[in-house]
Amino acid sequence: MNGQNVTSDPSRFNRRVAALVDATADYAAYNSTRRYASGEADLDVGSEFPRVYSWAQCTPDLTPAQCRVCLAGIIKGMPRSADRVGAKFLGVRCSYRYEIYTYLRGPVMVRLAAPAPEPAVGPTAPTPATLARRGEPTGKWGNKTVVVLAITLPLVVAILAITAVCLCYSRKRRTRRASSEQPAYSANSEDIANIDSLIADLSTLRRATDNFAAANKLGEGGFGAVYKGNFPDGREIAVKRLSRSSAQGIGELKNELILVAKLQHKNLVRLVGVCVQEHEKLLAYEYMPNKSVDTILFDPERSKELDWRKRLKIISGIARGLQYLHEDSQLRIIHRDLKASNVLLDSDYTPKISDFGLARLFGVDQTREVTNRVVGTYGYMAPEYAVRGQFSVKSDVFSFGVLMLEVVTGRRSSCSWNFDESVNLLSLVWEHWTMGTTAEIIDSSLRGHAPRNQVVKLFHIGLLCVQDNPADRPTMSTVNFMLSSNTVSLRSPSKPSFLMCMSPTSSESTGMPGMASPNEVSITELEPR
């Protein structure tokens, strides 16, 4: 809250702020598909502050009615009695703020002109009743006027009061009905048009993949198998055939696909087609000729293609794509299965994250901090997620840190069942970090070709990302800043926990793995958008 107080006519200032905040909240809820609005209001000429600015926002998955109810709840608690010139409230599903200075970029959506000056209190003409009380003559119409006013005024007031009560009751009923009956996400006509343009016919995708022939199978993950295909116009595609465990109906799936289709970023794989027919649920993506990072990184021969410049490009691109999902997209997406096989490379080795948003398609509640259904790959999972099912954006940061160390060392962070190969990647990196010998564990093809200061910096950032406590891990925007800056000072990392496996399968599990060193953490940060 802004500590500065209003000193001249605070009650008038507070009424003006209340009007602006309410108008901004109405616009955000009912006039913006992004559930966002900014506003400004002129104050009185010659007043202490010439203008006040406001901002209101809800998460886009809320319906207009749900958004307005959420904003009304936090606005009701606005501490106007403190006469502050600025305040903000950041909630999980909705937020608002007002200040006497401009703090937003872009066009203002709501403008309130300066209010008309309040009329001065002066002498008024005597009424007939007054004249009567003074004993002055009122004329033959005077008594009639008094009688008419005495009868009609109470009647009008009563009618207006009853009408107001009925309107308020009706509005509350509509709001409650909309909040309880409407789905969590309501697609507008523009959204439907966008997703309809992606609809692909099942027969087309069957022909494109030769009826999902084994020869065209590129791989299989926790959400289903992936097949290479060709559209009739010659475009190469990768078709993900979602497994039957996705139990959502067509309507629900379509709403989720709208959200996924809206995610557009250079470092995300682009969705080019969707098919929901005959119990098949298929997603068609742009085809990446260099396939996934793991097919090159862990191949003794092909790994030589990845020189130091390409590896830096891969790490930076993944970090930017993840920041977009966490912080810059309309709806925050927690990937929950970031790994080398879920990062694809185009012909220029530009990394593109795949499988983002698929946890939503499988009915995983992204708004909860704890889940009984752990979706991910051991070796990449954050300790709090693998052991207790607790997740947040910091769980993805942990996975990114593991992936980053894999790219630098060329070693898998996998669950080995060979006793002689059971050295965990994180324990290996930590051991060499403490001894100052990290140069010994970089990929052999990089030795003598990678600047030592950059190598040490990447190991340092990677270890910060895999800290035990989620609060000690940086956000992805901070990671991107650290990667791009040559002068930033990095704090010292502490020893990470080393996860052990329970079964040789990965991708999706409902069991909880054991740990070599227990990690007692709880997630306290679930950042609002």
CA distance 138 to 76: 50
CA distance 513 to 294: 24
Closest CA to 98 of 117, 116, 114, 74: 74
* Sign (positive or negative) of CA dihedral 345, 347, 350, 353: negative
Residue 240 marked ligand-binding: yes
In one-letter notation, the amino acid at residue 405 is L
Q: Is 454 helix (H, G, I), strand (E, B) or coil?
A: helix
Tokens of residue 297, six digits: 């990184």
**Active-site residue, 201 included:** no
Q: Is 278 helix (H, G, I), strand (E, B) or coil?
A: coil
CA distance 382 to 413: 13
Conformation bin of residue 136: beta by default, left when phi > 0, alpha when psi is -120 to 50: beta
Name the one residue in this structure whose structure tokens are 């989720």: 256
Tokens of residue 312, six digits: 């830096």
CA distance 527 to 332: 9
**What is the Cα 338 distance to its own chain's centre?**
17
In one-letter notation, the amino acid at residue 272 is V
Q: Is 96 helix (H, G, I), strand (E, B) or coil?
A: strand
Q: 441-452: b or e for each residue (b if 16 or more CB lie within 10 Å)?
A: bbbebbeeebee
Name 38's bridge partners: 55
Catalytic residue among 26, 61, 337, 355: 337
Per the annotation, where are the binding residues for ATP? 240
Residues annotated as part of the active site? 337
